[in-house]
Every structure is written in structure tokens, then in C-alpha cells.
Structure 1
Amino acid sequence: MALPALALVACGAATGDSSTTPKPGAGAPAAAVSGELGHVKGDPNAPITLIEYASPTCPACKYFHDEIFPALEEKYVSTGKVKFVFREFPIHGQADVAAYVVALCAGEDRYFDVLDDLFENQEGIVQAANVGALGGMLKTVAKRHGIETDEAFDACLENPEYRDQLAAVYQSGEQFGVNGTPTFILDGKVRNFEGDFRTAEGFSKQIDALLAEKGVQ
């Protein structure tokens, strides 16, 4: 089935609006609970690292998540050849920030489960945000991942540590010149959602070349 053209277009640059861009507070954490800035899948000592900066409301990020990453995970991440690091880059304001806070609050062991849920329900989340019903939609997501009461949900959103954590990750993206999503850092080099990096086959070609350079079969 053909995908909408929008799904293959990277999402635009962050606006830098002070009301939506996460700001670090005193003692902002430099890394996630795992010790890595971001959230890791795969062998931490893998020969290649792939970092993704993404927005949960970006159609191109959903496309990567649904159509490209599963093949990469099976071929490279689960086999110990690639360490995958997911980093939050909330370019769409409070909708992104609140969605990511729910994922962080659910805990590192549930983070990717929440992320899957956010991408699966991306259209509903965006529609809810557009009509002022984002809180109710995210509460439904949160309840599926252990945040079961309104009080617990409100405590998550009010916890400044999560916004500090998002700010630290966001600022790391700015250091790479990230201004849209998804943006990839493959073996230390910035790659945009274009050319080979729009398909699983293209990604595989790039990764295979790097593995060959490192003498990894």
C-alpha cells in the first residue's frame, strides 16, 4: 500500500520558541538512567553506533520506526553489530514534550514500549493536540504502561527532572546541527533522512560498508 507523501518528508526545524523548547534547570542530568545520553538497544560495545534524533509526532520518524528500523534491528542490533541510541528531539512543542515525559516517567524498562505506543497512535495524538485534548489522549497511553491514576500522570508532567533530561538531549542535538527529524548520527557522521537513509536497503548498504572497513563480517 502506498504511503502518504508526507510520511517520506523529514519534519521541519525547531522554532526555538521559549514556551515549547525544554530548558535545563539547576543540576540538569547529563545522561539518562542507563548512563547513556538517550535510550539504548543492542550491545553497548557494538562496533558501530547509530543515533536517531526523533519527534513522536513526526510522520517521517514514524515511517523510520515502522518500515526501516525493524529490519535494521533484526540484522544489526540484535546481532551485536550496531548499538542503537534513541534521542528525543521535541520539535513540535508541548505535544512532543508531554509525550516524551510520559515515556520517561514510565521507566527505562518500558521506554521503548511507550515509544511504540506513541508512534502507533501518532495520528490520534496529533488530532488530540489540535483540539486541546492532548492530556486525555496521553493519559490513556500512560495507563497502558503503569501510570494508572490521574495523580500519577500529573506528577509525571510536573516533575522538572524529565524536562531537564529532555533539555540535555535536545542540546546534544544542537551540537550536531540537528534541525529536523529524523536525523541520524551513523558512526559519528550526521546523516539526514534522504537518499540511502530513506530505506532499509540503503541503510544496510551504508552499515555494511562501515562494518567492512572495521573488518567485521
Structure 2
Amino acid sequence: MRKSLTLLPISLALALSACGGGAADTAASGASEAAAEVKAPAGQKWSDTVSKTDAGGIVMGNPDAPIKLVEYMSITCSHCKDFGEQAFAPLRDNYVESGRVSFEIRNFVRDPLDLSAAILSRCGGEAPFFPLTEQALGYQTTMFEKAQGMGEATYGDILNSPPETRFVRLAEQLGLISFFQQRGISEDQAKACLADTATAETLMNGTQKAAEDFNIEGTPTFLLNGQKIDGTNWAMVETKLKEAGAR
């Protein structure tokens, strides 16, 4: 599963293929005692506490939360979009704000479209990452329509261009630069982020490491306190959170 900027080009049909998690090595079942609520510092909310992790993800919430939920996600994954629609608001409001749960997203890049969107979701730093990711998931259908409209020939030409221009060109075709510009990322800022090949390499290396360390085979895949859990929808993940003491 080794990925690099020279090996990344794939067909447009493959880039638009379905996603889904593999079988999980599940965390132990059985309910734990309820974790105590932890108040945020005066004048703050835990959902506003956002930082980058050593694993390359972005985490929201109490850094010392006893229950740590990680989602390996792809912006071009329809199941990730569904989870975001179902989960982001209740996960933030009912669990992260309690101080019992932290929520980390780690980008698991599936294709050049996903990589372009992931780069831009991080372009403004940690603070806007979660709302930008949520909105980018909502743009997924339009992005796919624009990708299909460009055709294989244009797509192939873009992916055969130099790495420092490849994702700028692709994002322009997908309407991603204007999409993020409307959300506070200037055109110049977006193009600079997309031209930074080190960021792309870091995201792809993180995807490779996730596959090696946790046998991540698809998205979304969830870790609860370091162990994979079954489920790709909010109802299943919420059940596991409650069993872990988040209730």
C-alpha cells in the first residue's frame, strides 16, 4: 500500500469508487462505569479546544478525556459523509462538551480528489478544521459531478503534471478552491497549500502508517481508546461510547 506522489495517479472511475471499512478487530464489549464530567476552563468550551496530534490527526476536546474516539475518514467516502451528517453535532454537543470524550479525525486518503480536499481542509490550521471538513463532506456530490464532467483525458493530463501544480489544477477543476475561498481560505492561500508537496506526502505517509499499524482497510474506521470497533454509523459508535462510560 506504499503511496507516493509519483504513484498516486489512478483512473477517475477508481477515484469515484465506493468506500467502506473492513472487518474490525473489535474492542472488548461490556459497559464500564460512567466517566465523570469535566468542566472546561472558565469562559471556554471543550469543542473550541482543537490541536494537532502526534499521529497527524486533528483532535477536538479535553486533551485528558478518558474516552478517546478516533475516526479514519476520507472526504470522498459516502459512508464518512453519512456519519458526519448523523454524528458531528451530537458527538460534539453531548459527548465532547462533557469533557469525557475527545474526538480526533485522521485523514485516510483514498485518491487524488480526497487528497486535494484534505489538504484544503487543513489549510487554515487546526481551529477551522472540523467545520471545513464537515462542509467539504457536504460538497461531495458536487465534487463527484465535476470530476465526472472533466473526463478521463483531462483527469489523466492533470495527474501527469508536476506534483507542485497537480493538486492546484485538480482543485480548480473540482471547484474546491472557490468552495474553500467562500469559507475563509483565500485563493492564494489555497494554491500555496496545494503546491506544498510535503503536506501531500505527509498525508499519504499517514495513510500508509494507519494501514500498517491498525490494518485500516476502508473508511470510516473507528478507534476507541486505541482499539478498532465495529460500526460505520453513529448509532453503533454511540453505543460503544456509552459502553465505555460516556453516558
Where does residue 126 of structure 1 map in the other structure? 144
Deviation at 1:205, TM superposition (A): 2.4
Deviation at 1:65, TM superposition (A): 0.5
Where does residue 172 of structure 1 map in the other structure? 209
Residues 1:203 and 2:241 are matched in the alignment: no
Q: Is the 8 A contact 1:43 1:83 kept in 2?
A: yes
Matched residues in 2 for 1:169 and 1:78: separation?
Answer: 28
Deviation at 1:108, TM superposition (A): 1.4
1:125-179 per-position Cα deviation (integer Å, ceiling 9, x unaligned) = 1111222374241011220233323x43322211123113313421331110001
Residues 1:102 and 2:120 are matched in the alignment: yes
Q: Is the 8 A contact 2:2 2:208 kept in 1?
A: no
Alpha carbons of 1:163 and 1:15: their partners in 2 closer, same or farther (altered >3 Å)?
closer
Where does residue 46 of structure 1 map in the other structure? 65
Query: What SS class does the counterpart of residue 95 from structure 2 fall into?
Result: helix
**4+ aligned runs moved over 6 Å, structure 1:** none
Give percent identity, aligned residues only. Answer: 27
Q: Find the partner of 2:94 among 54, 68, 75.
A: 75
Alpha carbons of 1:69 and 1:145: their partners in 2 closer, same or farther (altered >3 Å)?
closer
Q: Is the 8 A contact 1:99 1:118 kept in 2?
A: yes
Where does residue 221 of structure 2 map in the other structure? 183
Deviation at 1:204, TM superposition (A): 2.7
Alpha carbons of 1:58 and 1:15: their partners in 2 closer, same or farther (altered >3 Å)?
farther
Deviation at 1:191, TM superposition (A): 2.2
TM normalised by structure 1 equals: 0.75
> What value does the CA root-mean-square deviation take over the aligned residues?
2.5
Residues 1:146 and 2:165 are matched in the alignment: no
Query: What SS class does the counterpart of residue 78 from structure 1 fall into?
Result: helix
Alpha carbons of 1:160 and 1:15: their partners in 2 closer, same or farther (altered >3 Å)?
closer
> Which residues of structure 2 form unaligned runs of 5+?
11-49, 151-169
Q: Is the 8 A contact 1:105 1:162 kept in 2?
A: no
Structure with larger Rg: 2
TM normalised by structure 2 equals: 0.66
Matched residues in 1 for 2:190 and 2:78: separation?
Answer: 26
> Which residues of structure 1 form unaligned runs of 5+?
1-13, 22-31
Q: Is the 8 A contact 2:75 2:137 kept in 1?
A: yes
